[in-house]
Amino acid sequence: MSPGEPPAADGAGVAALGDLAVTQLGDPAVAALAADFWETQLRWDPVYATIIGDRRFDDRLEDRTPAARAAYRAQVTALLDRASGLEAVPPADEDRLTLGALRSLAEGQVDAVDAGLEDWTVDPIDGIQTFILDLPDYQPIATPEQGAAYLARIHAIGPALDALVDRLHAGLAVGRVAVHQPVARVIDELLETAWAPPADWSLVRPAAELAASNPPGWAPGEADELRRAVEAAISDVVSPAFVRYWEMLRGVILPATRPPERPGLLHVPDGDAAYARLSRLHTTTSQRPDELHRIGLAELERIDAELAALGRRVLGTQDLPATLARLRADATLRFATRDQILGAAQANLARASAAIPAWFGRLPLAGCEVAAIPAHSEAHQTIAYYSWPAPDGARPGRFFVNLFEPETRPRYEAAALAFHESVPGHHLQLAIAQELTGLPAFRRFLGATSYIEGWGLYSERLADEMGLYPTDLDRIGILSFDAWRACRLVVDTGLHAFGWTRDQAIQLLGDHTALGDNNIRNEVDRYIVLPGQALAYKVGQLELLRLRSVAREALGERFDIRAFHDVVLGSGALPLPVLGRLVERWVTERVAAG
């Protein structure tokens, strides 16, 4: 396998990746630990395994029963014990990075299990009722064996939903229950899907396309038989499970939900401890809620002044409230059609892709394309997201953009959004990480939220340095988005540590960003169901900017932005403290080299 070549996507692909890491790392014991950790993660999240090309687990869904969670926690804890033993003897630099990254990720997984969100959270954005419908995008069927595995996974949806219902009942019994608005939204999502005819479900698409293509390697009628079997599974297993989930949410959970006046974790038994764990998981730091809250307020003060000044110059407005009011009221500043949104995203991606060689020495081999967020989730989904490429090159990276109600989507946000989600943001970082050689698989395919999302936010302003924003109106989008992520520090801690109401969170975002009302409400509900995740963006961005400033100050005229970016992107999505040590070592070596 040559440098930068993606791993194979057949059943042995990820195992081969682990073997490669073992042969190239300095300490075989570190390599073996890394391989065992990676295997544990794949078995814990079999859908993710499918997404990255390991097809061994195509026939199953995640098992989140109490017994399975306890077993997984024990496995990860045992891996941490092994890491402690290896750290007792100072390892080589690369092995030290591996152990630091593994320890942080493993401790985060223990924190996630102990936080117990799965016992009571109802998620309209990434819940099973939405992500399961995206399986056709990630699980292609080429052989009868793959078809059989896909059918088995469809059958597994029923038990998975029933297990979720059991967990929600158990959580309710001890006073742990979700918030009203997210539950109501999931009820709406289920209502739109549960009673649809089997042939209308997205889950049928791979088998239907296969049946229509007369594929080689299939007996006559075999592919059509698979299509009928998938439709029967939807009719007999999946649709009834969706209905049971809907009935339970509507009849049991919704009447007991917490009101919007009490949406935070501090209103849930053991919620304070859970929030501490989740904050540590997503930021990879030990910063306290009050500290993060103050950082967010300070960032808002700075960005507010910049946005007000730019509004005066571009829009002729007098202050920040007038600037935001104009941005929201002027229909000419918003898109008119879904095609306009797609076209702008494609143009921004193309412009950025042409510019990156001057700013990055290491470039990804995988391409990136723009796609529409699926219709079954667009009304409740965030404005955009990124999906990583298949390691074997069969699927490019995809920048998914929300086309729902285009008249509510601001034009001035489109460029910053594209640069965050695609290039030089998530696609550049994640695709490069996948293509790194000589590293354990987990460092290529897993990573710290604060690094990944911090890089995305860092990229929005970096794109301005790269000359990618054509107008000052587009730069308003940079500032609005930066304020949005500063708001996240204030809102997330406000909700979960300081007792804010849902309306308080909505008000803050409305007062400091130009986000549309629909996006603001979706965002606040996201913070409610994913505590701590929203902290990662600003924390990561500020650390990347700090490290860049340290490197520039130490190196002076010898500072090379391409070399700095290559160092930051060249070791996977490291926890922030580990990344800091890596950059500091790089700076020290360059200073010593003169």
For the stretch 61-70, pLDDT in tens is: 999 999 999 9
Q: Are 230 and 243 in contact (CB under 8 A)?
A: no
Does position 4 have pLDDT exceeding 80, yes or no? no
Range name among 6-10, 135-139, 322-326, 396-400 with the lowest pLDDT average: 6-10
pLDDT at residue 15 greater than cutoff 50: no
Tokens 């009868």 locate to 144
The pLDDT of residue 413 is above 90: yes
Q: Which residue has the higher pLDDT, 472 or 8?
A: 472
Q: For residues 511-533, give the mean pLDDT.
A: 92
Which of 12-26, 30-44, 476-490 has the weakest average pLDDT? 12-26
Least confident of 22-31, 239-248, 343-352: 22-31
Mean pLDDT of 211-229: 93
More confident residue, 10 or 86: 86
User: Which pLDDT score is estimated for 179?
Assistant: 97
Task: Give the pLDDT of residue 573.
Answer: 97
pLDDT in tens, 277-321: 999 999 999 999 999 999 999 999 999 999 999 999 999 999 999
Q: pLDDT grade, residue 375 (50/70/90)?
A: confident
With 50 as the cut, is the pLDDT of residue 220 above it?
A: yes
Helix (H, G, I), strand (E, B) or coil at 12: coil
Separation CA 261–CA 503 (nearest Å): 8
DSSP, collapsed to helix, strand or coil, labels residue 340 as helix
Per residue in 170-206, pLDDT (tens digit) is 999 999 999 999 999 999 999 999 999 999 999 999 9
Q: What distance in Å separates the CA atoms of residue 488 and residue 523, rounded to the nearest whole number? A: 9
Going by pLDDT thresholds of 50, 70 and 90, the confidence category of residue 85 is very high
Rounded Cα gap, residues 588 and 490, in angstroms? 36
Supply the pLDDT for residue 382.
Answer: 82
pLDDT for 390: 87
Residue 6 pLDDT greater than 70, yes or no: no
Q: Is the pLDDT of residue 19 over 70?
A: no
Question: Nearest to residue 238, comparing CAs of 122, 180, 155?
Answer: 155
Here the tokens at position 507 are 């008000």
With beta carbons less than 8 A apart as the criterion, state whether 55 and 149 touch: yes
Could you give phi then psi for residue 146, rounded to 5 degrees?
A: -65, -35
Q: What is the mean pLDDT of residues 357-384?
A: 91
Higher local confidence (pLDDT), 373 or 18: 373
pLDDT cut 90: percent of the chain above it: 87
Task: Provide the pLDDT confidence category of residue 12 given band limits of 50, 70 and 90.
Answer: very low
Confidence of residue 90 (pLDDT cuts 50, 70, 90): low
Average model confidence (pLDDT) across the chain: 93
CB-based burial label for 88 (10 Å; 0-12, 13-18, 19+): exposed
Name the more confident of 233 and 12.
233
- Confidence band, pLDDT 50/70/90 cuts, at residue 215: confident
89-93: Cβ within 8 A, 24+ apart:
91/26, 91/27, 91/30, 92/26, 92/27, 93/585
pLDDT greater at residue 444 or residue 518? 444
User: What is the pLDDT at residue 91?
Assistant: 67
For the beta sheet containing 397-401, the strands, ordered from the edge strand earlier in sequence to the opposite edge, are: 368-372, 397-401, 384-387
- Does residue 120 contact residue 268 with C-beta atoms inside 8 Å? yes
Q: Provide mean pLDDT across the span 336-355.
A: 97
Task: Tell me if residue 231 falls in helix, strand or coil.
Answer: helix
Instruction: Over range 526-555, report the average pLDDT.
Output: 97
pLDDT-derived band at 559 (thresholds 50, 70, 90) equals: very high
pLDDT of amino acid 366: 96
Going by pLDDT thresholds of 50, 70 and 90, the confidence category of residue 517 is confident
Q: Rounded to whole angstroms, how far apart are CA atoms 389 and 382?
A: 20
**Of the candidate ranges 13-22, 171-180, 541-550, the one whose mean pLDDT is the lowest:** 13-22
- 267 has pLDDT over 80: yes
**Cα-atom radius of gyration of the chain, to the nearest Å?**
24
Residue 165's identity, in one-letter code, is V
Q: Is the pLDDT of residue 262 over 70?
A: yes
